[in-house]
Amino acid sequence: MSTAAMAVSRKEKTAALVEMCSVRLGSALFGVPITHILEIVGSARPQPVPLAPVFVGGLVHYRGDVLTTVSLRQLLDMPPKDGPQDILVLESSGGCFGLLVDSVGEVLTVSSADHEPNPSILDGRRRALFAGAYKLKDSLLVMLNPEQLDPMRLGAAQA
Amino acid sequence: MGLLREGKLSADREIITGLLQLLDGLRSILKTIEAEDAEGEGEDAVLIGRLIELQAPAQAQSKKPVHARAGASSASSAPASVPPPAPAPPAPPPQDEIQPGQAEIEPEQAEPEPDQPAALATPPPAAAVPAAVVSATVQPPEPLPAAAPASKVSAEAESDAARPRIQGTAAESTLRVDVTLLNRMMNLVGELVLTRNQVLQATSADPNMTMLSRRLDMVTADLRESVMKARMQPVSNIFSKMPRIVRDLSQSLGRRVRLQVEGQDTELDKSLLEAIKDPLTHAVRNSLDHGIEPPEVRQTAGKDPEGTLKLRAAQEGSHVVIEVSDDGAGVNVERVRQKAIERGLITPDRAAHLVERELLQLVFLPGLSTAAAVTNVSGRGVGMDVVRTNVEKIGGKVEIDSRTGKGTTLRMRIPLTLAIIPALIVRSVNQSFALPQGALSELVHIPPEQAAAAIEWIEGAPLYRLRGKLLPLVFLDRLLMPGAEHKIVTERDNFIAVLDADGRRFGLVVDGLADPEEIVVKPLSAVLKDIGLFSGATVLGNADLALILDPGSIAMKAGVTMREEEEAAHAVEGETGANAAKNLEYLLVEAAGRQAAVPLGDVLRIEQLPLSRIEYIGYRPVLNFEGQLLPVEDSGGVLDAAQGNPEAQIIVVVCREGNRHVGVAVSHVLDVAAGGDLFEAGTSQRTGGVTLLKSRVTGVVDLGGVAPLPAGEQAPPEWSQTEETVA
């Protein structure tokens, strides 16, 4: 993750530090590198799109454009959540899209020394979405791969 | 070349053709120079040879051989003098700006006919070739002065004189702007419009805030208009290409054609202008190939051997009308009938019942061509169908009108802009959807108690009997949420939006209707576009998002197709709204026992309200309508009749008249019907006119005659009425 990382050398000798925005989904903790995040939109209610692929969380109005959102819950086969959700506006090669999560937490600075690759027991789909995990003091921060969350890519993968 | 200018050599067709070929040659040379920085090898010699050849007869005739030779040498040196592109005066792109200036430069040579842009001291690349007017009587000015040294001096002198003027008016006051920047501005303004809508809705009781939001409203409206204007371009941008096309074609087809262009400065959104270029070119080709007859035939028919092709552009309300008309043979309706039967597009039975006007509409069907032989110009039977599809794609309409032996007129109605479209907001599956009004022809409400009787079923396919014809129905909720449970028709309100999509007519059943709104179209991401039902999304005034429904794809998805026969019938039926004979749809109203008609296109809404809402300024009844004063027209005497009864409800039809709104007081609104014209096309006049509605002659309310409010009292216009409309 050196490309996405904001390398700040502190007391660790060689390990780079990465700033991750932590997001919650139920009890799980996920991280998105902040360099990919354009903006965080709080408590939005996306407009559902009938007949859209399941992973599409709906549409939101964002700075004059209509943004397609991806529901992380749907992607991970979790039951949908009622009430407003937070949206991370992410930038990818295909344009902007929103990522619907339960709530956005603080920005954590993690060290690449704590990074471990995806465990081999993960299923193929998740292995593509995740980019390893960071070991925190008392939990794991699962790193998401923003490129893989792009609705276009997901749409193509599904088809 | 000098000879031409001095009138020694009359510009006949041969010579102009030669010059135009030369021009093409020069253009390609210039292109090579631009690309490679060196003169291409090209066929200069061929061109020079051709020039000399052209010059030869002139030399033979010329009484001053010396002079002629000088001319010849100068002309033959013309191509050679091109390589340094320096002498070519200003840059080619702003053609339309250069032309008017140059039109003034050489009036004495051009002998301009008023309707012809006869001016050309243009540099080779910019030559817009008005000289293409195929008329032996016209002396076209020479297209290449800058390239010919002999005339260079004079040309430069002239353009020097003209240049300061041109630059002063055009070059200094105009700016070339990147289209993407304009699009971005358009987007932002759209955004501002949305925010404004939200502010207006959220405006609190604070009077200060109300005032501010009003001002915001005004400024936004102005800004939007200016940005829209910035995208506008005169139709001359595409019209200017036509003379050359007409010329080349008429030569290869052996026709003699005079081209008349009208309304060149009518403006249209750039993207729309691009979109109509091909249909227009096709229409012009059609007119030349099928319309205007060869000179001999015309002469036998007692017509001027030279045919006239007229291009006309004019703005009509929020549309631009572009007409291509010729005075040729007209469409042979019998042939259309035969061909249509031959190709199995309609049944002979049906064809026998169609009247001439209906048959004409058949030419828009794919696969129909009346040309006896397929030429490289036309006759393949894909043309008119494509013209219609292209124009309809941008929300326009095509109509055709033809009189045997007199000519054909093709009329395209194009909306002024694409980015903001009027739409009706409908509700279904607890969401709002936007339905473009272009496709919407009418709305029908079926309350739950009537639904069982009104909606009929054939093997599970719902149908509605609309004025005696079966209309297939598509339930939007069932389409959007297959599998989910839906209320049956007798348990809910059913609103049928009768849609017309690519020739398919069907009723879309929705749960509810909201207001019509001007919506700003936002593109959808590819994933959602793949669903196919939505053409975009928009943000409504209440900040809700709404998906824009695409009637065409809904019809496809729901399997609404029509048998070809029906389609043909429909093509006829659908066009009657505003078809060739200039039929308008009218709202049939009754006022104090008499019937009258209001052009449906002008009707904004119909309000039923208590009589007490009507107030008077002096003797003039006015209505306080959404904060604006609306003059109410009451020549039918509805208000007077109801005066004694304070409980009385009256109906006011709110109409658009020019840029103001007026109300018409009526006692009942009866129906909507297509009006037949009682005049010959061309002489029909609308104001105070009458129309044939349901085979009765009915007076049309003269909206223009409603006096504006601030003005003094004027005699109210009469309901125009004829003796046939005895109530």
Residue range B518-569, pLDDT digits in tens? 787 777 887 888 888 888 888 886 778 899 998 878 887 877 654 443 444 4
The 3-state secondary structure of B688-704 reads: CCEEEECCEEEEECCHH
Residue A102 counted as domain residue: yes
Cβ separation A68–B525 shorter than 8 A: yes
Among partner residues A47, A48, A151, which is closest to B527 by beta-carbon distance? A151
**A96 interfaces chain B, CB cutoff of 8 Å:** no
The per-residue pLDDT for B162 is 45
More confident residue, B609 or B103: B609
Residue A156 counted as domain residue: no
Lowest mean pLDDT among A17-31, B395-409, B556-570, B639-653: B556-570
Chain B hits for A47, CB-CB cut-off 8 Å, are: 431, 544-547
Bridge partners of B649, per DSSP, are: B610
Kindly indicate the confidence band of residue A153, based on its pLDDT and cuts at 50, 70 and 90: confident
Average of pLDDT values for A122-151?
Answer: 85
Lowest mean pLDDT among B74-83, B176-185, B642-651: B74-83
For B577-685, where are the alpha helices, taking DSSP H only?
638-642
Kindly indicate the confidence band of residue B159, based on its pLDDT and cuts at 50, 70 and 90: very low
Lowest mean pLDDT among B148-152, B422-426, B442-446, B458-462: B148-152
- B650, B640 Cβ separation under 8 angstroms: no
**A121 interfaces chain B, CB cutoff of 8 Å:** no
Cβ separation B522–A66 shorter than 8 A: yes
More confident residue, B101 or B455: B455
In the predicted structure, residue B247 carries a pLDDT above the cut 50: yes
Please state, in angstroms and as integers, the Cα–Cα distance from residue A60 to each residue in A49, B424, B634, following that order: 11, 21, 48
- A14, A124 Cβ separation under 8 angstroms: no
Residue in this structure with the two tokens 């006015």, named with its chain if needed: B622
Chain B hits for A99, CB-CB cut-off 8 Å, are: none
The per-residue pLDDT for B556 is 79
Cβ separation B527–A152 shorter than 8 A: yes
Sequence-separated (6 or more) residues with CB below 8 Å from residue B467: none
The per-residue pLDDT for B245 is 85
Among partner residues B187, B190, B533, which is closest to A51 by beta-carbon distance? B533
Cβ separation B524–A66 shorter than 8 A: yes
Cβ separation A66–B531 shorter than 8 A: no
The per-residue pLDDT for B152 is 41
Kindly indicate the confidence band of residue B33, based on its pLDDT and cuts at 50, 70 and 90: low
Residue A39 counted as domain residue: yes
d(CA B721, CA B583): 19
Average of pLDDT values for A110-137?
Answer: 84
Give how many domains chain A has, as a whole number: 1
DSSP assignment string, B393-405: HTT-EEEEEEETT
Average of pLDDT values for B396-406?
Answer: 80
Residue A44 counted as domain residue: yes
The per-residue pLDDT for B691 is 65
Highest mean pLDDT among B34-48, B131-145, B410-424, B467-481: B467-481
Chain A hits for B547, CB-CB cut-off 8 Å, are: 47, 49, 59
Closest A-chain CA to B526: A152
With a pLDDT cut of 70, the percent of chain B lying above it is 61
- What is the rounded average pLDDT for all residues in chain B? 69
Highest mean pLDDT among B497-501, B502-506, B671-675, B702-706: B497-501
In the predicted structure, residue B79 carries a pLDDT above the cut 50: no
Cβ separation A53–B480 shorter than 8 A: no
Residue A31 counted as domain residue: yes
Shortest alpha-carbon distance between residue B239 and chain A (Å): 36
In this prediction the ipTM stands at 0.81
- B585, B640 Cβ separation under 8 angstroms: no
Among partner residues B188, B481, B545, which is closest to A59 by beta-carbon distance? B545
Closest A-chain CA to B538: A66
- B328, B409 Cβ separation under 8 angstroms: no
- Per DSSP (E only), the strands in B203-340 are 232-234, 257-262, 267-269, 307-316, 319-326
Q: And the tokens for A91?
A: 């930038």
In the predicted structure, residue A76 carries a pLDDT above the cut 70: yes
> What one-letter code names the amino acid at A16?
A
d(CA B636, CA B642): 12
Kindly indicate the confidence band of residue B171, based on its pLDDT and cuts at 50, 70 and 90: low
Q: Give residue-wise pLDDT tens across range B660-697.
A: 778 888 877 777 776 655 544 444 444 446 666 666 66
d(CA B496, CA B647): 33
Closest A-chain CA to B190: A64
Shortest alpha-carbon distance between residue A64 and chain B (Å): 5
Average of pLDDT values for A139-145?
Answer: 88
Cβ separation A68–B547 shorter than 8 A: no
Chain A hits for B194, CB-CB cut-off 8 Å, are: 64
Q: Give residue-wise pLDDT tens across range B4-16.
A: 555 555 556 666 7
In the predicted structure, residue B332 carries a pLDDT above the cut 90: no
Chain A hits for B527, CB-CB cut-off 8 Å, are: 52-53, 56, 68, 151-152, 154-155
The per-residue pLDDT for B39 is 53
Highest mean pLDDT among B324-333, B413-422, B649-658: B324-333
The per-residue pLDDT for B425 is 92
The per-residue pLDDT for B547 is 92
Residue whose C-alpha is closest to residue A90's, from A151, A141, A47, A49: A151
Average of pLDDT values for B97-103?
Answer: 39
Shortest alpha-carbon distance between residue A25 and chain B (Å): 24
d(CA B585, CA B723): 22
Taking any CB pair shorter than 8 Å as contact, residues of chain B touching chain A are 187-188, 190-191, 194, 429, 431, 480-481, 522-528, 530-531, 533-534, 536-539, 543-547
Chain B hits for A97, CB-CB cut-off 8 Å, are: 525
Residue A137 counted as domain residue: yes
Closest B-chain CA to A96: B525
Cβ separation B545–A50 shorter than 8 A: no
Cβ separation B525–A97 shorter than 8 A: yes
Domain range holding A127?
17-147
- B519, B540 Cβ separation under 8 angstroms: yes
Lowest mean pLDDT among A21-35, A141-155, B709-723: B709-723
**A93 interfaces chain B, CB cutoff of 8 Å:** no
> What one-letter code names the amino acid at A29?
L
Shortest alpha-carbon distance between residue B142 and chain A (Å): 52
The per-residue pLDDT for B387 is 81
Average of pLDDT values for B223-242?
Answer: 83
Residue A4 counted as domain residue: no
Residue A106 counted as domain residue: yes
Cβ separation A64–B191 shorter than 8 A: yes
Sequence-separated (6 or more) residues with CB below 8 Å from residue B260: B115, B116, B308, B309, B310, B311
The per-residue pLDDT for B98 is 39
Residue A111: which CATH number? 2.40.50.180
- What is the rounded average pLDDT for all residues in chain A? 81
If DSSP codes are grouped into helix, strand and coil, which group holds residue B408?
strand
Shortest alpha-carbon distance between residue B138 and chain A (Å): 55
